[in-house]
Copies of this chain bind each other. A is one copy, B any other.
Amino acid sequence: MNKKEVIFILLNGFADWEGAYLSTYLNWGVKPGGPVKYTVKTLSISKDPVTSIGGFKVLPDYGINDMPEDYAGLVLIGGMSLRSPEALQIVPLVENAIRDKKLVAGICDASYFLGVHGFLNHVKHTSNGLDYIKQAGDKYTGEANYVNEQAVRDGNIVTANGTAPLEFCREVLYALNADTPEVIEKSYQHWTNRLTPK
């Protein structure tokens, strides 16, 4: 099968946990032995290593100028640098992805980033709380579309709270049709059922 690339955008201080489940299920398949439709690539502003909150140094596959034309979607991981001037260089990539009806997914401060640049005004979305995303300023006029859930999918746009790496994962897997609904739900329950406090 010709695998499509899903591009994870990582800036310095990215949150280790936010893409960990999703990258695994995309790159390895949702179920052992099942289809593997996607391959995970990472992109940052340059190809220099970016350091996670947890101190892992990740070597991006792409810098901003190497962005491939053929890809399935963008996954924006939250963290400490999405409000930095250099993060503005990501905006045209998101514009292009939305124009081309590709997946755009943002978790935690990446949902804020999508809000501040006006990408969430006309789609159902969530973030780290309504008050959190309302700080996003004038370009954010999407309050009526804010949904108080851990993760929200509206067409090709997925947003999530930073506490919701598993719900974010599930909704992106649905958006990308990564496997059957039954397999996607099981992949989610694999973690959530056992995490129920005793």
Residues of chain A whose beta carbon lies under 8 Å from any beta carbon of chain B: 8, 15-17, 19-24, 26-28, 39-42, 49, 52-59, 61, 150, 163-164, 166, 189-197
Q: Which of A16, A40, A164 has the most CB of B within 10 A?
A: A16
Copies in the complex: 2
Complex CA gap A57/B10 in Å reads: 12
- The 8 Å CB contact of A27, one of B21, B26, B53, is B53
Given A17-B17, A23-B16, A194-B163, A58-B55 contact (CB < 8 Å):
no
Q: Is the CB of A24 within 8 A of B20?
A: no
Smallest CB-CB separation from A13: which chain B residue?
A: B28
Task: Assess whether B194 is in contact with A197, with CB atoms less than 8 Å apart.
Answer: no
Q: Hey, which chain B residues are within 8 Å of A21, CB to CB?
A: 16-17
Not counting A28-B54, A41-B55, a sample of 4 additional A-B residue pairs whose C-beta atoms are within 8 angstroms of each other reads A16-B23, A59-B59, A191-B195, A192-B196
Residues of B close to A52: CB separation below 8 A = 23-24
Q: How far is the CB of A102 from chain B (nearest CB, A)?
A: 18
The 27 listed contacts between A and B (C-beta, < 8 Å) are: A15-B24, A16-B21, A16-B23, A17-B20, A20-B20, A22-B54, A23-B52, A23-B56, A24-B54, A26-B55, A28-B54, A40-B54, A40-B56, A42-B55, A42-B56, A56-B56, A56-B58, A59-B59, A163-B191, A163-B194, A164-B194, A191-B195, A192-B196, A192-B197, A195-B195, A196-B196, A196-B197
